[in-house]
Amino acid sequence: MFHRLGRLRRLSRWLAVLALTATVSAPGTAAFGDASDHPGSMRSQAKTCLQHQGPQQLASCLRHHSHQETTPRPGALKPRLTSTISELDTPTAFSGPWGITAGPDGALWFTENSADAVGRVTTAGAFTEYSLPNTGSGLAEITAGPDGALWFTETTGNNIGRITTSGSITEYALPTSEAYPFGITAGPDGALWFTEANGNNIGRITTSGSITEYALPTSGAYPLSITAGPDGALWFTELLSGSIGQITTSGSITETAVPTVGTLPLGITAGPDGALWFTDAAAGQIGQVTTAGVFTAYALPGSFPFPWGITAGPDGALWFTEEYGNNIGRITTSGTISEVPIPTTFVNPLEIATGSDGNLWFTENVVSRIGTVTP
């Protein structure tokens, strides 16, 4: 049993409950809009929970109001990959690893949500951990910055953090209180861009620590993940509005609804095909959207795989995690999906990144491990 369940783990469990209320289509290409026939009732309930209890109580709040059981998704299983998965324990037990990214030093850097630390692991498997000054920071995502350092979000600490490759940590407090910063990425303008889930803003921080916030047009959108797009803009997911957002470096925002009823877009990344690719947890599918706003959906097999993180792989495909499917998935830009099961069950794989060794590295949140998969 974990000594402390962070808010991010509660958020993860809440999202799973929300996903279990949706009915999804069979595996294969799906026209957006036919993946779910469930109206946005649970999304409305989620908004009520957020308003009155905040992210910390989302899981218990939604469980109280949810009485539906899971329904297996029909259809054939996707091909299994022959890739090999290895799993490495973090030095700290119950560390709750969450975000992960390739660092400028050739190592992988990851956040430890339950341990209030940033971890580093070489491609040979050697670990180092760096503790934050304060407890209860709730670290989430992490990215490499243009200054040779790593930048990360502190959801409950309400900070943007910076750590050098030698382990020196600096924290920058956000102007908006209880903003719940989550996703973060390097922008094309030399700054870092991040989401504020509770603050309903997209934030920008320079490498010297100057912060600007841009309010989203849709209230209560709950922006989560963010990535740099091929068009020089930043693209992000809006969990509760069910939209994909775009913000230019000058702060102009466009929001486009994902044409699926009850959608829950989570992770997002730029693909090698010039489009954006995202995970849709409630609909159990991988989505593609062009910079012109054209959507395509690819349904996943299994009973609520709950895809979370997604990244561009070294092989020209997209790789993603299935939190409840307990798989690592691969999808080509033409939509062919294959999966490889994680050897350990119930690991809750979350974020995924390509390492300097050409392998995919991912976090196993519940069992406090870092996993690798060879393409």
CB atoms within 10 A of CB 94: 16
CA-to-CA distance for 330 and 337, rounded, in angstroms?
6
CA distances (Å), origin 367, targets 94, 105, 164, 235, 344 = 7, 26, 27, 31, 9
- CA dihedral angle for residue 159, residue 12, residue 184, residue 158, rounded to 10 degrees: -10
Q: Is the CA virtual torsion 152, 230, 280, 358 positive or negative?
A: negative
CB atoms within 10 A of CB 353: 26
What's the pLDDT at 327?
95
Contacts 24+ apart (CB under 8 A), 217-223: 217/253, 217/255, 218/243, 218/255, 220/47, 220/50, 221/245, 221/255, 222/50, 222/197, 222/198, 223/182, 223/183, 223/195, 223/196, 223/197
Q: What is the CATH number of the domain that holds 215?
A: 2.130.10.10
| CA end-to-end span of the chain | 33
Q: Is residue 359 part of a domain?
A: yes
Q: Is residue 1 part of a domain?
A: no
What's the pLDDT at 45?
60
CB atoms within 10 A of CB 346: 10
Domain enclosing residue 49, as ranges: 7-63+77-373
Q: Is residue 70 part of a domain?
A: no
pLDDT tens sequence for the chain (375 residues) = 334 445 555 556 555 544 443 333 333 444 454 444 343 445 666 566 556 544 444 333 443 554 434 443 444 456 677 789 999 999 999 999 999 999 999 999 999 999 999 999 999 999 999 999 999 999 999 999 999 999 999 999 999 999 999 999 999 999 999 999 999 999 999 999 999 999 999 999 999 999 999 999 999 999 999 999 999 999 999 999 999 999 999 999 999 999 987 788 999 999 999 999 999 988 889 999 999 999 999 999 887 788 999 999 999 999 999 988 999 999 999 999 999 999 999 999 999 999 999 999 999 999 999 999 998
Q: Is residue 131 part of a domain?
A: yes
Give me the phi and psi of 27, to 5 degrees please.
Answer: -60, 155
CA-to-CA distance for 324 and 335, rounded, in angstroms?
21
CA distances (Å), origin 149, targets 102, 179, 311 = 11, 23, 20
Number of domains in the chain: 1
**pTM reported for the whole predicted model:** 0.88
Beta strands in 41-95 (DSSP E): 85-89
- Cβ–Cβ < 8 Å for 38, 312: no
Q: Is residue 59 part of a domain?
A: yes
Burial-class residue 293 by CB neighbours within 10 Å (0-12, 13-18, 19+): exposed
- Cβ–Cβ < 8 Å for 40, 263: no
CA-to-CA distance for 327 and 339, rounded, in angstroms?
6
Burial-class residue 334 by CB neighbours within 10 Å (0-12, 13-18, 19+): exposed
Q: Is residue 167 part of a domain?
A: yes
Q: Quick check: helix, strand or coil at residue 290?
A: coil
Which residue carries 């991010």 as its tokens? 8
Region of residue 209 (phi > 0: left; psi between -120 and 50: alpha; otherwise: beta): left
Nearest to 227 by CA among 318, 328, 347, 158: 318
Q: Quick check: helix, strand or coil at residue 11?
A: helix
- Cβ–Cβ < 8 Å for 49, 42: no
Q: Is residue 71 part of a domain?
A: no
Q: Is residue 160 part of a domain?
A: yes
